[in-house]
Amino acid sequence: MSVELPEGYEPSDKEEFMNDLQLEYFRLKLVEWKDSILSDSRETLNHLQEDSLKEPDIADRASAETDWSVELRTRDRQRKLIMKIDAALHRINEKEYGYCEVSGEPISLKRLQARPIATMTIESQEKHESYEKVHRDL
């Protein structure tokens, strides 16, 4: 699918839900987000490789290792986020994007703008989280 987006295009409730323009809009948004994450990850790896042995003092080195550990945990969360982005891109290719995986209802454009990897409507997400909370506490 290769649709040219008009300059300044924003999805609107006034058009058909998940038409080709909307799908392309969200595809580009997801690709840009993924590229940004990958770029940050490369910078982190370069930084870790350059700074790995620069701290001669043991206390400074311990502090640096703690910082690296936090950074690596962040990158792991981002790796999982990339998997969700890839899944959303797959749903776009299959023209299944934008619909709740539970109810089949359209996910609001406002929600997709805020969280383009969303797979559920707000209502389904709230029910899911309530269910998880109740069963986690048992």
Strand-pairing partners, residue 99, are 106
| Residue 93: CATH number of its domain | 1.20.120.910
14 belongs to a structural domain? no
Segments forming the whole domain that contains residue 129? 20-136
Whether residue 33 lies inside any domain: the answer is yes
Answer whether residue 15 is part of any domain.
no
CB 78 within 8 A of CB 37: yes
Q: Tens-of-pLDDT digits for all 138 residues of the chain?
A: 568 999 999 999 999 999 999 999 999 999 999 999 999 888 777 766 665 556 566 676 667 677 777 777 877 889 999 999 999 999 999 999 999 999 999 999 999 999 999 999 999 999 999 888 887 766
Domain total for the chain? 1
| In-domain check, residue 64 | yes
